[in-house]
Amino acid sequence: MKRSTRASFVALLAALALPAAAGEVLVAVAANFAVPLERLGVGFTAASGHTLKVSAGATGKFYSQIVAGAPFEVLIAADGETPKKLIAEGHAVAGSQVTYAIGRLVLWSAQPGFVDDQGAVLASPKVNKVAIANPKVAPYGAAALQVLKARGLADALTPKLVTAESIAQAFQFASTGNAEVGFVALSQVAVPGKPATGSYWLVPPNLYGEIRQDAVLLKLGEKNPAAAALLAYLKTAAAKDVIKSFGYGP
C-alpha cells in the first residue's frame, strides 16, 4: 500500500472510531431533581460527550414558559400530568414521555431533634411557620396540602403556611429559619456522600398522591441527538442507581 493511501486509510479508521459530534441540550428540571441531575450530568457527558445546560424551577412555571416559546428541549418534571399535557397540546413529542422516579415527601427542620418521626410537631405550638412550594405549580406543594388534610390540620395550619415559588425555595425558607419546618423532597435532605442535617419526618406515601416524576422530549429538541440521548440515559442502570441513591422510588 502506498504511503499516501495508507495515511488516508488510517485517517478513515480514526474518523470512524470517533463518537458522534458532541452537542448540548437545554433542560428544564423540577427543583427537587436539580442536584441529582448534576450527578447524572457527569455520567451522561462521560458516556455520550454531550453536555447539559440546566434551568431549575417549578414544573408549573416551566409549563407556562414552554407554551410561551421558551427554548427548552427536554422537560424533567415533578409530575406526570404536565408532560402528558404538553404532548396533547403539541409542545412535546408523542411517545417520548418516561417515568424516571417516584418522589418522596418529607417534613424537615434545620434544627436537630425538632421534627419527630411521626410528624406530631405539626400540631405543636412550637411551629409558627410551615414552608411549602406553591401547590398551584409544584406537585410537592400539592402533596403537602394533601398531608395536612389527611392529618386534619389544614384549617389550623393554613394561616401558618409560607408559600414558596418552588420546592428549592421552600427548603431555603426552612434552612434559614424563616419557617421552623418545611415540606420538601427527600432528595434535598438525604444527599449521598453528605451528612444529613437537621431533623425530618419521612411522610408515609398513603397520606398523599403518588408523585410520579416524568421526563419528556419537547418539540424544540426533536432534532437534537443530545436531547434524545439524555432521555435514553435516564433509563440506564447507571442513572437508576444515582436516582435511587437520592431516595427516589423506582
Fold of 19-102+211-245: D-Maltodextrin-Binding Protein; domain 2 (3.40.190)
Q: What pLDDT digit, counting tens, does each position of 204-235 carry? A: 999 999 999 999 999 999 999 999 999 999 99
Model pLDDT, residue 21: 67
pLDDT in 10s for each residue of the chain, 250 residues: 444 444 443 333 333 333 456 899 999 999 999 999 999 999 999 999 999 999 999 999 999 999 999 999 999 999 999 999 999 999 999 999 999 999 999 999 999 999 999 999 999 999 999 999 999 999 999 999 999 999 999 999 999 999 999 999 999 999 999 999 999 999 999 888 888 889 999 999 999 999 999 999 999 999 999 999 999 999 999 999 999 999 998 7
Cell of 197: 442535617
Cell of 23: 452537542
Please determine, looking at this structure, whether the domain spanning 104-207 carries the CATH number 3.30.70.141: no
Model pLDDT, residue 20: 53
**What's the order of all strands across the beta sheet hosting 24-30?**
51-57, 24-30, 74-76, 211-217, 98-103
Q: Are 197 and 110 in contact (CB under 8 A)?
A: yes
Of 40, 56, 38, the C-alpha closest to 48 is: 40
According to DSSP, the β-strands at 161-164 and 130-133 are: parallel
Which residue is listed with cell 411517545?
95
Do 19-102+211-245 and 104-207 show the same overall fold? yes
Domain extents for the chain? 19-102+211-245, 104-207
Q: What pLDDT digit, counting tens, does each position of 135-160 carry? A: 999 999 999 999 999 999 999 999 99
Cell of 159: 394561616
DSSP string of the chain?
--HHHHHHHHHHHHHHHSPSPP-EEEEEEEGGGHHHHHHHHHHHHHHHS-EEEEEEE-HHHHHHHHHTT---SEEE-SSSHHHHHHHHTTSB-TT--EEEEEE-EEEEESSTTSS-TT-GGGGSTT---EEEE-TTT-HHHHHHHHHHHHTT-HHHHGGGEEEESSHHHHHHHHHTTSSSEEEEEHHHH--TTS---SEEEE--GGGS--EEEEEEEBGGGTT-HHHHHHHHHTTSHHHHHHHHHTT-B-
Q: Which residues pair with 169 in a beta bridge?
A: none
Longest CA–CA separation in the chain, Å: 88
pTM attached to this predicted model: 0.84
